[in-house]
Amino acid sequence: MSGDFTEIGRALPRKEDRRLVSGRGRYLDDLAFPGALHVSFVRSPHAHARILDIDSAEAAEMPGVVGIFTGRDLDQMTTRLRLAPPIEGLQPTELTTLPIEKVRFHGDPVVCVVATDRYLAEDAAECVTVEYDQLPAVTSITEAFAPDAALVDDSLTSNMVSHQSLCVGDPAARRAEAHRVVEARFSLHRHTHVPLETRGCVADWDDGRAHLNMHIGNQVPHPLRSQLAARLGLSESQVTVMSPDVGGAFGQKIALYREELTVAALSRHLRRPVRWREDRMENLMSAAHAREYECRTRTSVSETGRILGLELEIDEDFGGYCFYPANYMARVIALIMTGPYRIQDYAYEVRVALTNKCGAGPMRAPMAITSWVMEGTIDAIARDLDLDPVEVRRINALGPEDLPYKMPTGELLEDVSPRETLEIAVDAIDVAAFRARQAQARAKGRYLGLGLCTVIESTTYGSEFYKSAGIPGSGHESAWVRIEPSGAVNASVGLMGTGQGYESPLSQAVAEGLGVRSEDVTVHMGNTNIAPYGMGSRGGRGATAGGGTLYLCALKARERVLAIAASMLDLNDAGGLRMRAGQIERMIGEDWQETGLALTDIARRAYLDPLALPEGITPGLDFSHSYDPPAMTYSNSTHACEVEVDPQTGAITIDRYLVAEDSGTVLNPIVVRGQQQGAIAMGLSGALLEQVIYDGTGQNLSATLADYLVASPNELPEFEILHHNTPNRRTPAGIKGMAEGGVMGAIGVLANAVSDALAPRGVTIERLPLTPQSIRALLREAAPSSTKRTQP
Amino acid sequence: MKPAPFTYHRPASLAEALALLRTHGPAAKPIAGGQSLGPMLNMRLARPGHLVDLNDLIELDRVRVKDDMLEIGALTRHHRLANAPEVQRSLPLLGAAAASIGHYAIRQRGTIGGSLAHADPAAQLPLIAVTLGATLVISGPAGTREVAAADFLQSIMTVDLRDGELITALRFPLPVGDLWAFEAFSRRHGDFALVSVALSFARDAEGKIDALRLGLGGVDTVPLRLPEIEARAQGRLVDVDTIRDLAAAAAAAIAPEDSEQVPAVYRRELAETLVIRAFQSALTREEGA
Amino acid sequence: MTAPTHDPLTLSLSVNGETHDVRVPARKLLSDVLRDDLGLTGTHVGCEHGVCGACTVLIDGRPARACLTFAAQMEGHEVTTVEAMGRPDALSALQQALHEEHGLQCGFCTPGIVVTFEHYLRENPDPTAEEVRDVLSGNLCRCTGYQNIVAAVLKAAARMRGEAA
């Protein structure tokens, strides 16, 4: 299918690069606003405390200070965020723009100091005195669910902010008839996104027009505008959101955060531009965290390892505030858990806890733990039954004959290839040869391990998904394509890239649909006055929703262009015409031949000589289109990696890493490969190094980049990527989403590889991150011989 | 993360720097490479009223071998130290340790004096200085004094440096044994080590250990030299049993801090492993030479 | 003991071969002065504690963290920023290789990497991949996984040595 494309699939280097590589990108802090005021937030030193008194008298007199504002002040300028979607088991929540009564985590913003520069704002912030009455801090899921737990949110009846369950088929019956019931546990630690550019915004209130210009690096400009307008009591006509170049987001730049709303409200209040750029300590402590889960599986299996039924429990630590409905991330995990395997009897229970930590949000692959849980379960089955883990995968994996496959949750898998990517990966890593090397190494006291992890990656999230999930929102996308009088091609879509490199692949989608060169298309994104209302960038929807809509819109434009061309060539219809690289060609005999007519000629006619247009064709070349993609498009992949564990230090070395990927039609292989590499790197970094650490009193101990460890090049391997792309037959051009599956696979494959390495010692990895000290702790407790032992 | 206000001073000579430090007393803080002090200033963990910039004191940027001593000026940058021919010839252990400090850009700016004054218990240079019995040359209101590195380093970020004093040089006695190794274990490349080991020794005609110097970093509030282990090694053949015995004894001799993140038992295990690896690495290097 | 004075200093700074006079407080970081006072916004601020490497500039030709340096310290020294190392329409060999090898995504860390390796490759024209990774360890990148950056540096090195690559 992709063989028919001329622009889609080209390895076109990124259009963004020239400005970015030469230091001429324009990120938020690079935008100059004369006279702009700077803010600094006074943040809570406590995890949980009542605010008794705020004394800012001394600070207010300090040089450069323009104003000092508290939660009570902001409550007059903004409305509260109420999240109450009609989802069974979800408690409604409401929060003020800044806390008024109490703080809920270490780093909670309490007071906003506005001054003429950031240095002076920080000087004054130090002098604001807040008197607190400390409350018991809830710092774990267990504590949150304890009967006598302190309430994180006083308006709720318990800390269990969300609780859902589902039972399909009869898992209990399967358990009764099973050859064996295999139990496994998985504990994933708290991560944070660490975009190299932290959050920030410039709010520029235009007092004459009563209009807010909000400059902010954000993934979803239009939904953000809706939020800003609603919370400030403005109409959507009174707010423009403009996103400049963005230094990474990974899910951290979706919500309207309290700091950003505060800055916007204060710009309007003070009638001055106000700016905030969060520093790194604020980012690590207070922006958003992610991924803290405890999962348990109970799997009923036959003698051959065939899965008869699966029961899953997920508990999530959601932190102190809900910026998203609390069921949001964990639900997707439960929804797609069975993933690449034939399972019909399935039950899940999902519980979400509020704790006195930074609020959780989606982070690149919000469902990241899924593949580790499923693939770790597969390995647990193999261990328990003494079967080959590859064989257990084979007899359970979905093959072509099973498709389309309706998962027990109702999710539909089609045009996926989990069994194929498994075989490609198994073959490429040469499992048999590895086992021989492993046996030799073990004889010498060396611990080599091989992991496998097959991923079913949910992407795109069409409106049908939101409807069935009961979440307000839509998954459609809108685009426009405009051919200017000169023949220049402009286009726009509601996405906003945050570093992925949208400009080339999206211009390729337009170029393909229209019949021009990608180099001649410019795609405009991030300005809500220019772009059509769209749902933005999240959930791997850029390619299918964004690229797909642009492609369809460009097809519409092409139809009009060819109709005008036909009339200019005195043809009855456009049937024998096409446009390639902006030149109109005509099929004569068996060959496409040049007509001498170009897009520029047609544009001139459309704009400057409209009376010459054929009847029924309106002047100009301006097109818009919207498109609602399928509920979900699924990509898949199988990761394989070899590790060596140093039993003396607990250090893990990744000796080889490969992944077989099915990402559907690829708009731009350079960009897709970069996304695959980056996602795997993020997964490995998280599994090996990263960890948000709170102590027992809720103090954040990981607020610098010397404490929150992100992988350097020396901890990461080279990635071998093998392609097995199956176009999706239900989307324009066969596009699927991608860019999150690498995280899912990396976490699972690494944990499985380390468990395999340590199998002679009976050690199984149930808890991440895989720090050397944690590996040593497991080995210390393990008997020297093969007595099974798991993590504490 | 912006520093609190201070008055900036830029003395042109050591005398001028000392005069400024004397004038402003405890309110003054010297800055050289700024690779450790800079983050503390930005986080306002350090808030001196007066910052005295030593970067113009180029007379303190020097490496020289004099008789039985290698002298390194306090303003010598790690990158220069790592690459100086004098260091590679006379004290390659020091060069190797310096080459492992932080990252490339950090080593271009960071100075030996700054590293010693900052006294991170896991830092490379304090460990090498203690292990090899180096002395610091310190100038101050009362003139110039010399103090052994082991006495200078008192605790975490606490050193024997009085008001108005500056480190001007570090002196290593020469020669040292020609077998050496530096082993460090850190979570990431370039991070401060969880545990590090420096050792140096010679072998006599019969292949027996002579003049072992063994130091461990990251296992206490200051880097530790282990004289009992050094004595235990004297005159023994460097074989597997000796190495294991010394490593076990070294691990037993330390009492690292115990924390939830890094338990004491783990640091002790690392110490034992790294001592073994250091001996192996020293012997391997000699075989290769 | 004299009281601290917080009056702005008048500094004469030599940046990218040009002399600039600025009036800034002593405590103002070089990264902030380059960006706010000189408009050289290619030097990015990523952590302000010397870890991420995004703000790396050259001081007298050698890489240094601008966030750990005060502008006041730079009188009498030459500062070079990414702006001096190529333009969008005239990329350096290293920048061109980063483009071709997809060695950047969001681009926020990229100026620090360009500055570090423009210097490093002059002193080390034929590095191994391992040496490149060692030097690159001082520049955090959250997007790429580093593989393509290493490839780009090696490609640029080969080209700068005059080899076809």
Q: What is the mean pLDDT of residues A772-784?
A: 92
Residue A416: alpha-carbon gap to chain centroid: 21
* pLDDT mean across residues, chain C: 96
* pLDDT mean across residues, chain A: 96
Tokens of A726: 């199956």
Spatial contact of C16 and C81, defined as CB atoms under 8 Å apart: yes
**Residues forming beta bridges with residue A790, ordered by sequence position:** A764
Tokens of A255: 């919500």
pLDDT of residue B289: 73
Chain A interface test: which of B188, B259, B273 (most A C-beta within 10 Å): B188
Q: What is the mean pLDDT of residues A649-661?
A: 98
Q: What is the mean pLDDT of residues A492-508?
A: 97
pLDDT band, very low/low/confident/very high, at A354 (cuts 50, 70, 90) = very high
Q: Is the pLDDT of residue A502 over 80?
A: yes
Which residues 664-683 of A are in CB contact (within 8 Å) with C?
670-671, 673-674, 677-678, 680-682
**Residues forming beta bridges with residue C87, ordered by sequence position:** C90
- Flag whether residue C23 sits within 8 Å of chain A, measured between CB atoms: no
- Flag whether residue A250 sits within 8 Å of chain C, measured between CB atoms: yes
**Are A649 and B191 inside 8 Å of each other by CB?**
no
Spatial contact of C70 and C28, defined as CB atoms under 8 Å apart: yes
**Are C70 and B7 inside 8 Å of each other by CB?**
no
Tokens of B160: 């024997």
SS3 A200: strand
Q: What is the mean pLDDT of residues A335-356?
A: 98
Backbone dihedral region for residue A114 (phi beyond 0: left; psi -120 to 50: alpha; all else: beta) = beta
pLDDT of residue C5: 60
Phi, psi (rounded to 5 degrees) for A165: -145, 165
DSSP type of residue B1 = -
Touching B (3+ Cβ pairs <8 A), the chains are: A, C
Spatial contact of A7 and A669, defined as CB atoms under 8 Å apart: no
pLDDT, tens digit, for every residue of C48-80? 999 999 999 999 999 999 999 999 999 999 999
Which residue shows structure tokens 């405590």? C27
Q: What is the ipTM for the molecules in this complex?
A: 0.97
Q: Is the pLDDT of residue B8 over 80?
A: yes
Backbone dihedral region for residue B188 (phi beyond 0: left; psi -120 to 50: alpha; all else: beta) = beta
Q: Is the pLDDT of residue A624 over 60?
A: yes
Report the C-alpha gap between B128 and C164 in whole angstroms.
45
pLDDT of residue A4: 84
A709 → closest Cβ in B185, B188, B260: B188
Report the C-alpha gap between A450 and A309 in whole angstroms.
27
Q: Is the pLDDT of residue A791 over 50?
A: no
SS3 A479: strand
pLDDT of residue A473: 82
In a 13 Å sphere around the CA of A183, the CA atoms on its Cβ side amount to: 3
In 3D, which of A548, A549, A564 has the Cα closest to residue A621? A564
**Are B38 and C120 inside 8 Å of each other by CB?**
no
- Helix count and strand count (H, E) for chain A: 21, 34
Q: Is the pLDDT of residue A786 over 80?
A: no
Nearest CA-CA distance, residue B174 and chain A, Å: 34
Nearest chain A Cα to B2, which residue?
A119
pLDDT, tens digit, for every residue of A164-221? 999 999 999 999 999 999 999 999 999 999 999 999 999 999 999 999 999 999 999 9
Report the C-alpha gap between A109 and A103 in whole angstroms.
8
Q: Is the pLDDT of residue A130 over 80?
A: yes
- Which residues, 6 or more positions from C42, have their beta carbon under 8 angstroms from its beta carbon? A22, A23, A24, A25, C81, C82, C83, C111
Report the C-alpha gap between A565 and A406 in whole angstroms.
46
A-chain residues near B278 (CB < 8 A): none
pLDDT of residue A790: 44
pLDDT, tens digit, for every residue of C24-42? 999 999 999 999 999 999 9
Q: What is the mean pLDDT of residues A145-149?
A: 97
Q: What is the mean pLDDT of residues B253-276?
A: 97
Q: What is the mean pLDDT of residues A478-507?
A: 97
Which residue shows structure tokens 């191994």? C128
pLDDT of residue A785: 52
Phi, psi (rounded to 5 degrees) for C162: 90, 10
Residues on chain B bordering chain A, Cβ-to-Cβ distance under 8 angstroms: 1-5, 39, 43-44, 185, 187-192, 194, 260-263, 265-266, 269-270, 273
